[in-house]
Structure 1
Amino acid sequence: MSRGNSTSSSLTPTDDALIAAIRDGDERALAHLYRLHWPMVSHFVLQNSGSEDDAQDVYQEGVMVFYEKVRDGSLELSCQIKTYLYAVCRRLWLKRLTSKSRFGVRLLDDEEHGPYLNTGAEEDLLAAEEQDRRFTTMSEALNHLGEPCRSLLEGFYLLDKSMQDLTAEFGYTNADNAKNQKYKCLVRLKKLFFTHYKEEPI
């Protein structure tokens, strides 16, 4: 099993090289990976009621899941990259088909790239979806926060402005007053975040 810099014996030398290059920020390696396994995912989506555009959307999302796991050092592999990507993209396409149909969906799998189960891809994809949901909820909470809290928090946390700069920008008498206001805004933001987060369907 591979985590961070360790490598599973099930990986090919090409897989090892691709993971190392992507981890080092080599964009050519990512482009090569994209071209390498695109036909596999395209064939799968097309034979399961999808279009070329559907296949591209699913594949791009699947590659990004893989890329982010490699870059943050949390990737675990007990299979080859192509099997992992197949599992991720299969899950993504199944989710789309299920959302469009009132009936059960049965996918036709490519025997060459199965089995798709027990690759760790399912857990990684669910984690990525959960992270996206948190970011979306936080963005919505910021939108509901109102001014000046929204601009104050964005200025400090996103734009990396100092408390002195924010004190002058928002007209506070001193930096301590600005800090107190920032704290109150954070409390409000957390309440909004958890209220919206709990209300969202799982």
Structure 2
Amino acid sequence: MNDEKKHTLSDEDIVSGIFQGETDALEKLYKEHFPMVTRLILNNGGDIDDAKDIFQEAVIILYDKISCGQFVLNSKLKTYIYSVSRNIWLKKLAKRGVYSNVDDYEEKLQVEDDIEIQRERDHQFIMMEHALEKLGEPCHTIIKDFYIHNLSMQEICEKFGYTNTDNAKTQKYKCLQRLKKLFFG
């Protein structure tokens, strides 16, 4: 695999690469997700060695599932690695007796999960705003009027001078298709 491809591997490429035994896929997985697991562990009573152990266990679990054909990517790989690492860490803490009530500790970690989810949503919201800006008129206004200002199709029809609501719906559909292309590339 060349250097350019290393930097552009999608989650699906990484999973496929692991399945095919490509070391580049494991390297990319490590580079992209080890820092996140390290933050999780360091922020929750562990050290760098704990982070390495937890990450390695999470990767082994992922590798085993992929190798057996049992892995289905129904979320981001980042989310999967984080969740598995988090669960392994909670079990280790319970074994160490650090937290006798794992439920209380899970609540604390849940807040961190929520923060991570919110960051991802904020990022997607910003990307959607950029896509909307690139959309141009009348699509930009039609999409905002319908989804943000809750205007009815009849109101949009009248505002833009369409002959009937079906024409307005058709235009909105075309605008959504353009927006999807801009947003998802």
- TM-score normalised per structure 1: 0.47
Residue number among 64, 81, 84 corresponding to 2:80 in the alignment: 84
Runs of 5+ unmatched residues, structure 1: 1-11, 116-202
Alignment of 1:35-184 (within 5 A): 35-101=31-97, 103-105=100-102, 106=105, 107-108=108-109, 109-114=112-117
* Structural RMSD (CA): 2.1
- Aligned sequence identity (%): 38
Determine the C-alpha separation between the residues in 2 that align with 1:112 and 1:82.
14
Is the partner of 2:57 in helix, strand or coil? helix
- Deviation, 1:110, is 4.1
Quick one: higher RCO (CA 8 Å, sep 6+), 1 or 2? 1
Is the partner of 2:64 in helix, strand or coil? helix
Runs of 5+ unmatched residues, structure 2: 1-7, 119-185
Is the contact made by 1:62 and 1:89 (CA closer than 8 Å) also made in structure 2?
yes
- The corresponding residue for 2:161 is none
Q: Which has the higher helix share?
A: 2
Is the partner of 1:42 in helix, strand or coil? helix
- The corresponding residue for 1:32 is 28
Is the partner of 1:75 in helix, strand or coil? coil
Determine the C-alpha separation between the residues in 1 that align with 2:72 and 2:81.
13
- Deviation, 1:111, is 3.4
Determine the C-alpha separation between the residues in 1 that align with 2:20 and 2:116.
28
Is the contact made by 1:41 and 1:59 (CA closer than 8 Å) also made in structure 2?
yes
- Deviation, 1:70, is 1.1
- TM-score normalised per structure 2: 0.51
Determine the C-alpha separation between the residues in 2 that align with 1:16 and 1:42.
23
Alignment length, in residue pairs?
A: 104
Asked if residue 20 in structure 1 is aligned to residue 20 in structure 2, the reply is no
Determine the C-alpha separation between the residues in 1 that align with 2:117 and 2:63.
21
- Tell me which stretches of 4 or more aligned residues in structure 1 moved more than 6 Å: none
